[in-house]
Amino acid sequence: MFDKYIICEDGFQNVSEGGQVVGFQLMARLPYYRGLGISMVEDLGVKIDSDAVAREAIRITLHGKTYTLDEMEVEYDDRWEFGEPGVVTVLQPGGLKPGAHTVEVSPQLRVSYLPFILKDRDVKTLTLAA
């Protein structure tokens, strides 16, 4: 459900802080038909050109608030809204080289009425501007 829409087409870019490239960003949405309390987002895996990004290197920003994946698991009030593009930041000094990259995002959601963890995956080729 909505798996092809997980990764947004726009928003793929390197991010700088104090003149240094500290990582890169992309935009992603949850593949589910309602918004979900953030504590129920168990994971959001990211792969770049087939290499898995370490969970600790991932930050997610939702309506201006930034979380690590561990912090998300204990956030009991805020929600990732339906169709809301979240900014996924990967801390990786130097960022990515300009050009095409294969991006994979795989959320895992703990939906209470399902007897299993909802796992979905989207893979897209995105181009990072020079």
Partner 1 sequence: MTQSHQIKRGVSLYSFQEEFFLRKMTLEDCIAACARLGAKGIETIGEQMMPGFPHLSDAFYDQWHGWMARYGTTPTCHDMFLDTKKFKGRLMTDDEMLASVIRDLKHASRLGCTVIRVIVNTPPHIMELAAPYAEQYNVRLGLEIHAPFHFRHEWIQKHYEVMERTGSKFLGFVPDMGVYERRFPRVRSERTIRNGANRDIVQFICDSYERGVDLDAVVEEVKRMGGGPLELGMVDDVKRIFFDDPRRLLQFMPRIFHIHAKFYEMVDDTTEYSIPYNEVIPVLIEGGYSGYLSSEYEGNRHIQDVYEVDSLEQVRRQQAMFKSLLGEV
Residue numbers at the binding site for partner 1 (CB under 8 A)? 1-2, 4-5, 29, 33-37, 39-40, 42, 73, 76, 79, 81-84, 110-113
Task: Tell me if 35 sits within 8 A of 88, measured CB to CB.
Answer: no
Provide the minimum distance between the beta carbon of 19 and partner 1 in the complex, in angstroms, as a whole number: 35
Q: How far is the CB of 96 from partner 1 (least distance, A)?
A: 27
How far is 87 from 27, CA to CA, in rounded Å? 5
Between 100 and 111, CB nearer to partner 1: 111
Judged by CB, which is closer to partner 1: 4, or 97?
4
Taking the complex as a whole, how short is the minimal distance between the CB of residue 84 and partner 1, in angstroms? 7
> In angstroms, what CA-CA distances link 30 with 15, 96, 98?
23, 24, 27
Strand-pair category, 51-52 with 41-48: antiparallel
CA–CA–CA angle 56, 61, 66 (5° rounding): 65
The neighbouring-strand residues paired with 87 are 27, 61
From the CB of 116, what's the least distance to partner 1, in Å? 11
Question: 7 or 90: whose CB is closer to partner 1?
Answer: 7
